[in-house]
Amino acid sequence: MTSALGGPPGPAFPTGPAGPCPYGRAIDASPVPSIEALGALDLFGEGFVRDPYPWLDVLRADAPVHHDPATGLWLVSRYDDIRRVLLDPAVFRPDNAQHAITPLGVPALRVLARAGFRVRPALANNGSPSHPGLRRVVTRFFNAQRVAAAVPVIERVAGELLDTVGSEIDAVGGSDLFGAFAHTLPCRVMMELLGIDGLDTTTLVRWSDASLELFWGRPTAERQLELAALVAEFHQWLTTVVSDRTAPADSFVGALVRHRLPDGELLDLQTAVGACFFVFVAGQSTTGQLIATVLRGALAEPGVWPRVAQEEGLARAWVEEVLRREPPVTTWRRVTERPVELGGVRLPAGAELLLMLMGSGSDPEVFTAPEGMRPHRANSRHHLAFGVGRHRCPGASLARTEAAVALRAAAGRFPTLHLTPEAPPPPVLDLLSFRAPLEVRVSP
């Protein structure tokens, strides 16, 4: 008999009401929700954020296309339905992908307007004929060849950050791998790969996180003002960078500003800024969230951490299972172009959909025993964490590689590291489309 990792069976993974709990800690037992309870579902609530799996199971089994009155969104939870939506952008358009889920108040809108902020169709929210050409420009900087060439950069930056982690562990007996390592690594790597200088990583991280919270969170009116000010700074900086027409043609910004649209016109400034906005947020915040989830899960699962630095391919296989079961991008939005039937439900034109990507990775019709972490499962890469079709994430290969390198480097440097037992459960990012532990407290 062997464990899911291919070695001797280890201790059982701690379980909550819906099977293995995400962070290796037992979650307070609560009644498994029923279809009748879906009226009380709160996508931003503590119960759903801490342990979404029972809710996702009920949605997938009993209400695969469910209208959520609190947000006005149709929640789509079965793998096949989500895949169908993603593969048909003509009927299920991406136009609403980056709309603010919480309506912004007039004061916040004024702050953004003064900065010239506009969300133009560029990449994730672009269903127009300009999308394929723009995507080709961006994808060229994140293709397999460039990602392979970037591995030494990722390893070097990871080593530098882990030096700081080691110093902190020596000084105080512990560290937080989220703040000291996972959250910073992708930002530094991206800035080097894209040739961005003259800006400290702390500022870019703060801008990126503020953008996620403003557009995918439920901030109060006062908080909206704080976030809008940061997003405005971010937009103004991006505008300055993109406006510099002296950027080399082989640089990311240089390629964007020289790109021509289908009508032959040069790409306009606002669309170029919008493309940069999406790439910077996705390349920094969401990749950092993935790394944090990967690290915490590997530390919590018996037998994983000591082996990932030694066993060929295990780090990448673990990353793939995390992407399947607990992706950092948990949901994504689409809007129907015309009336259509989906999952047995007739939807009108203009229906706004929320694709439950996290739930699709636990669909038992696709993944055997989906609640268990099983690296090397035969169809592990069939998950939808990066989407599928023409809007599939162009940075998927880089994100996978960064997460695997980060895991292997951290486990190799600190093979006896473990989650700090007395640490409280970590705060969890509670945005509509993003979820991750915001702390990974460790001890030697």
CA angle, 49 as apex, 43 and 50 as ends, to 5°? 150
Query: Could you tell me if 279 and 127 are in contact, meaning their C-beta atoms sit under 8 angstroms apart?
Result: no
Burial of 94 (0-12, 13-18, 19+ CB in 10 A): buried
Q: Report how far residue 305's alpha carbon sits from residue 412's, in angstroms, rounded to the nearest whole number.
A: 9
The tens-digit pLDDT sequence of the chain (444 residues) is 333 333 333 323 333 333 333 333 333 344 567 777 787 899 999 889 999 999 999 999 999 999 999 999 999 999 999 999 999 999 999 999 999 999 999 999 999 999 999 888 889 999 999 999 999 999 999 999 999 999 999 999 999 999 999 999 999 999 999 999 999 999 999 988 888 887 889 999 999 999 999 999 999 999 999 999 999 999 999 999 999 877 888 888 899 989 999 999 999 999 999 999 989 888 889 999 999 999 999 999 999 999 999 999 999 999 999 999 999 999 999 999 999 999 999 999 999 999 999 999 999 999 999 999 999 999 999 999 999 999 999 999 999 999 999 999 999 999 999 999 988 889 999 999 999 999 999 999
Q: Which domains does the chain have, with CATH numbers?
A: 43-443 (1.10.630.10)
Q: Report how far residue 344's alpha carbon sits from residue 337's, in angstroms, rounded to the nearest whole number.
A: 18
Residue count of the chain? 444
Q: Report how far residue 204's alpha carbon sits from residue 342's, in angstroms, rounded to the nearest whole number.
A: 40
Picking from 135, 86, 127, the residue whose alpha carbon sits closest to that of residue 331 is 86
Reduced DSSP (H G I as helix, E B as strand, rest coil) percent helix, strand, coil of the chain, to 5: 50, 10, 40
Q: Report how far residue 146's alpha carbon sits from residue 152's, in angstroms, rounded to the nearest whole number.
A: 11
